[in-house]
Amino acid sequence: MSPSAVTINDVARAAGVSKSLVSLTLNDRPGVKSETRERILQTAKELGWTPNPGARGLTTRRAYALGLVLRREPRTIEVDPFFAAFIAGVETVLSERGNVLVLTVVPDAAAEERAYARLAADKRVDGFLLTDLLAEDARIPLIERLGSFAVSLGAPPGGSPFPVISRDYDSGIDELVAHLVGLGHHRIAHVSGDERMLHGLRRRERFEEAARAAGLEPVVVPTDFSPEQGASATAALLDGEDRPTAIVYGNDPMAIAGMGVAHERGLDLPGELSVTGLDGSHIGSFVYPSLTTLDNDPAGFGLAAATALLRLVEDGEAADVALPPARLVVRASTAPPAR
């Protein structure tokens, strides 16, 4: 009934050979006469047989699966625009290699640790994709201790035993600041994301460097990357003295929330306030004014990360990957300051 009732034995019998030969053939191993090999491949296809990963893993000690554990506040669980495309990128690699993605969403650090430990111990996955990297990320030593593998999006400052997939965002931030300065802005603020996160911190640092290099005194309001805090940071900036004429937000959702606050106060955007996001999202092109931002390539990240991780799992080693640098996407939310 269930189409997969067919096993290696069925194939062996139908092809008139032993299980061993079927196994050797399927795994592209030498030592099978090419006629036999053809016949086996043929009948396997006819029967629609595909090896059972569970049974296979019992001897190969593989799960043929990769894990992604997302930690998100239950209060405001809503995943960044980044992830759908990231997962789709991962998927393109996995599906053509018979692997699968195991996704887990956890509410806090304790549950997170349990999730990694459980997935590794039960051999549910062969390795992990590490996103939202923290400066001192406990997951890296944890995964080492668990005897599993990983790749990280971004390079941990302390170094990592695992491959790193990175993308130059610094030059994009330079460009973005130059763009604003070129428009005539002198008071530029940055509503930064969670600075315990590597990309939040790095963006903040680079923003400050770029601003100073342009002779400006950088103003930074740190947040946790949530729209809420993006909104309150904006309110603080707009209600304070020396109101900025441009605000660079750590991500698009915060920029959108910030625009809401500015509109609420009756400001004309971008005339009285220029805003930019970061990590360009789809919805960013449809708000008013449409959002200037730095693009990102979540699918590219997913593809590179999955490829490297699979390679690490299979060959025991894999190289770091550097993706093409982020690019500036100029839309309608930035303009010369009206003054």
Residues 5 to 34 in contact with DNA, rule: CB under 7 A: 5, 7-9, 16-24, 26-27, 30-34
Of the pair 67, 337, the CB lying nearest a second copy is at 67
Burial of 122 (0-12, 13-18, 19+ CB in 10 A): exposed
Please report how close the Cβ of residue 42 comes to DNA at its closest, in angstroms.
14
DSSP string, 159-214: --SS-EEEE--HHHHHHHHHHHHHHT---EEEEE--TTBHHHHHHHHHHHHHHHHT
Nearest one of 21, 79, 2 to 281, comparing CA atoms: 79
Residue 197 pairs in a beta bridge with 134
Of the pair 89, 218, the CB lying nearest a second copy is at 89
Of the pair 3, 31, the CB lying nearest a second copy is at 3
Q: Torsion-angle region of residue 198: left (phi > 0), alpha (psi -120 to 50) or beta?
A: alpha
Neighbours of 7 (CB within 10 A): 16
Nearest one of 155, 163, 159, 115 to 133, comparing CA atoms: 155
Exactly one of 45, 46, 48, 60 binds DNA (CB under 7 A); that residue is: 60
If contact means CB under 5 to 8 A according to the sort of partner, which of a second copy, DNA, none does residue 23 touch? DNA
Of the pair 41, 106, the CB lying nearest a second copy is at 106
Exactly one of 56, 139, 202, 206 binds DNA (CB under 7 A); that residue is: 56
Neighbours of 104 (CB within 10 A): 18
Of the pair 39, 331, the CB lying nearest DNA is at 39
Please report how close the Cβ of residue 99 comes to DNA at its closest, in angstroms.
14
Nearest one of 231, 292, 285 to 263, comparing CA atoms: 231
Please report how close the Cβ of residue 37 comes to DNA at its closest, in angstroms.
7
Of the pair 54, 182, the CB lying nearest a second copy is at 54
Longest dimension (CA), the chain: 86
Position 203 contacts DNA (CB under 7 A): no
Q: What are phi and psi of 71, to 5 degrees?
A: -100, 125
Exactly one of 38, 42, 45, 58 binds DNA (CB under 7 A); that residue is: 58
If contact means CB under 5 to 8 A according to the sort of partner, which of a second copy, DNA, none does residue 165 touch? none
Binding segment toward DNA, per CB under 7 A, in 53-61, 146-154, 235-243, 278-286: 53-61
Of the pair 51, 184, the CB lying nearest a second copy is at 51
If contact means CB under 5 to 8 A according to the sort of partner, which of DNA, a second copy, none does residue 110 touch? none
Please report how close the Cβ of residue 110 comes to a second copy at its closest, in angstroms.
12
If contact means CB under 5 to 8 A according to the sort of partner, which of a second copy, DNA, none does residue 218 touch? none
d(CA 113, CA 249): 31
Burial of 124 (0-12, 13-18, 19+ CB in 10 A): middle
Binding region for DNA (CB under 7 A)? 5, 7-9, 16-24, 26-27, 30-37, 49-52, 55-56, 58-60
